Structure 1
């Protein structure tokens, strides 16, 4: 068995029956940052028109979004509490507005800044994927009309903004905990450490 921090950026591996891509083997959170190799769970409807909706009528606040709740459910159902490390998702808007703050999650979607940083290793997916970055924040009445736009990544790898109530997919990301996971070589396969 090998430490998972020996994974190389861009290397594919299997974990919990999903294929992942290593983005950063020594991430600042203390683990291995990875993203799913394919858009996740097309049977989970990320196209119901309320994926980013919240009770205030904002469509682009990841903090209160349905997609965050679905990813939290995934974290609880698929992963144990020690295999992943919490990651801070900065919800600063494309225009620099920081009204949405930050959130800490174990399964999340990348921000635009993270996408830009790791774009050389992120696959070109066959569907557009959401980022956690809003076009602008909608907590202020002056911005309320723009609270429906979220940054997306096209199949070509280009970033754009798009209305959050349209159909898109997600590519979940996580930070794997090297203290509770090992790497078994073949096609790299990450598994839990047995005590």
Structure 2
């Protein structure tokens, strides 16, 4: 009888080993399945991110192209607006034509606004090199340094992007005279006073 038990034990052990191997295979397959699922999900996310990035790049390129064309129209529109500013000095017949051109100019401005393009006010603002181009600087003590005193050509923005910087006159602080220059100035003032008195 003992001989019969030994084969059963061996049979049980081999069944246990077989079950253990099957469990191990099952675990490995599940692990591989999870790894493949993770790779698949990462690939899907990467594909979606690439699609979104390409769509954004396409939109940016389109916006840049539209802004570029619009920028080319800004100078002629400003010139037309300046010419129409002399409407009061025109003959009656020319004024009628000018009124028609004012309506067309208004339509152009509406189109610019629809595309997010707007002129920005710079008069009295602080100079910002991203928004303004200083074409003249005037020494003054009446205004803080960097204050825009006059706008020669208005600037335009498209959203947060500057299409054309405003061309402006800017206040700058007067030069401080060195002690030697002050002495010379006092001497000159004294001489001028003496010549007037004498």
Relative to the length of structure 1, the TM-score reads 0.25
User: Which protein is bigger by CA-based radius of gyration?
Assistant: 2
Q: Decide which structure has greater strand share.
A: 1
Taking CA–CA contacts closer than 8 Å with sequence separation of 6 or more, which of the two structures ends up with the larger relative contact order? 1
